[in-house]
């Protein structure tokens, strides 16, 4: 049988949301094989079980089919974006793609979910993510510490509002790397925010 590993596979960020083409789904089934396990996750990725020996070649084949492939487990997940119902330009589709390229796949103490909404409707539920980005006309608001699970579920708190597109990637990246460097063991991001405090986080990214 050989040793198995998993790849996190998702479609490109696009108007309409997480859309796979029939050809892409067929490709996933072909390269994974009939006995593979394919799991739909809560962060809009498919976990595809593949042979460890063939991992690199399978990843290359999936990427040629227009799919995005990331590490599984303890890393920042690919950006969980909205459907861009207000249009690509108004909702900031290209900005979301740039942000995704900057943050997806960074190794972190626990899996990190980052949400993006192109307007205040927030259909991607960014306030329930570890870091949530909401486009407000021509600027962005960033929320931190959302916790969707457990009896102490909570929405994220507003960390900073009105930042420009140019500052978006640096600010989100700073939060990720700060968490990576200063977390205690497998501390959840929401617990990390509580311990560091909102006030200190605001000073760091100011």
Identify whether the C-beta of residue 174 lies closer than 8 Å to the C-beta of residue 204: yes
pTM of the model: 0.94
All domains of the chain, ordered by start, with CATH?
4-70 (3.30.70.260), 80-205 (3.30.413.10)
Mind listing the pLDDT tens digit of every residue in the chain (206 residues)?
Answer: 579 999 999 999 999 999 999 999 999 999 988 888 999 998 899 999 999 999 999 999 999 999 999 999 999 999 999 999 999 999 999 999 999 999 999 999 999 999 999 999 999 999 999 999 999 999 999 999 999 988 888 999 999 999 999 999 999 999 999 999 999 999 999 999 999 999 999 999 98
Identify whether the C-beta of residue 76 lies closer than 8 Å to the C-beta of residue 108: yes
DSSP character at residue 195: H
Q: Which residues lie across from 68 on neighbouring strands?
A: 10
């Amino acid at each position: 049988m050989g040793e198995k590993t998993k790849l996190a596979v998702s479609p490109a960020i696009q108007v309409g949301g997480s859309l796979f083409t029939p050809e892409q789904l067929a490709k996933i089934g072909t390269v994974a094989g009939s006995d593979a396990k394919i799991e739909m996750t809560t962060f809009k990725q498919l976990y595809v079980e593949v042979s460890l020996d063939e991992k690199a070649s399978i990843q290359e084949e999936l990427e040629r089919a227009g799919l995005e492939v990331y590490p599984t487990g303890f890393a920042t997940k690919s950006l969980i974006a909205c459907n861009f119902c207000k249009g690509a330009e108004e909702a900031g589709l290209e900005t979301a793609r740039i942000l995704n390229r900057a943050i997806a796949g960074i190794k972190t103490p626990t899996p990190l979910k980052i949400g993006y909404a192109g307007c205040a409707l927030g259909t991607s539920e960014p306030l329930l993510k570890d870091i949530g980005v909401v486009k407000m006309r021509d600027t962005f608001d960033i929320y931190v510490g959302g916790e969707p699970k457990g009896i102490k579920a909570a929405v994220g708190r507003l960390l900073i509002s009105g930042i420009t597109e140019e500052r978006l990637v640096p600010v989100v990246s700073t939060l990720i790397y700060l968490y990576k460097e200063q977390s205690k063991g497998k501390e959840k991001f929401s617990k990390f925010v509580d311990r560091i405090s909102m006030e200190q986080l605001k000073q760091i990214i100011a």
